[in-house]
Amino acid sequence: MTVLDSFRLDGRVAVVTGGNRGLGEVFARALRDAGARVAIAARDQERSESVARELGATAVTTDVTDPASVAAMLAAVTAELGPVDVLVNNAGVCFHGAALEVPEEEWRAVWDVNVDGLWHCSRAVGAQMVERGAGVIVNIGSLSAMIVNRPQMQPAYNASKAAVHHLTRSLAAEWAPFGVRVNALAPGYVKTEMAPVDEPQFRRHWIEDTPMRRYALPEELGPSLVYLASDASSFMTGSVLVVDGGYSVY
């Protein structure tokens, strides 16, 4: 097998939560391009089906905050495509607001999706992988797990992504003996619906404080995701791959 062959995912089944928009859609496309059979697991079925038609993927209505919905998604994907080889825990939400002004419902919503949702999916799919003795989970973390973003405050999101990074390590340590690898991808500032990188009030801290003096385009994260999902990273588990233009070096 050549070096480039190790990045191929031919014949493998990949699930991307929140895979119908933003980075999730880019990840689904990248996995498809690498040869995987992709299932998009998200709440907006109409949008999922539209993206799935374009990619030749499968769309499964999924609410990651509901364990029963996650179990139904896994059953449907397994029945249609086969056992899951790659799980990308991408679904996430973020709200901006100072700590003393964060409504309880916003705090709860962030943790329900970013942490509990990832937990539900990892447990369900992880059980199948452990039983089979093989599988890869890639959790989408964030630069925000390692810094406090400026000028906006987002304590719930920051804390949730720090939890994602450490849960990644915990699952990696526990499941490595069973042939299951768990890593995280931590993007910096990327031009998506969730990150308004073009707004002037954010330029000073989001762009000028980045050594590369720019934000990333979503498509730049696809190759990193494929690396973590493929045999190219076969001796890598419990790691957080930071792709942030150098922001975290300061």
Active site residues: 157
Distance from C-alpha of 217 to C-alpha of 54, rounded to nearest angstrom = 20
Contacts for 146 with CB less than 8 Å, ≥ 6 apart: 162, 165, 186, 242, 248
Distance from C-alpha of 217 to C-alpha of 219, rounded to nearest angstrom = 5
Residue position matching structure tokens 């697991």: 41
Strand ranges for the chain from DSSP E: 13-17, 37-42, 58-61, 86-89, 135-140, 180-187, 240-243
Phi, psi of 151, rounded to the nearest 5 degrees: -85, -15
Closest CA to 33 of 12, 59, 62: 12
Distance from C-alpha of 127 to C-alpha of 117, rounded to nearest angstrom = 15
Half-sphere exposure of 176 (CA within 13 A, CB side): 13
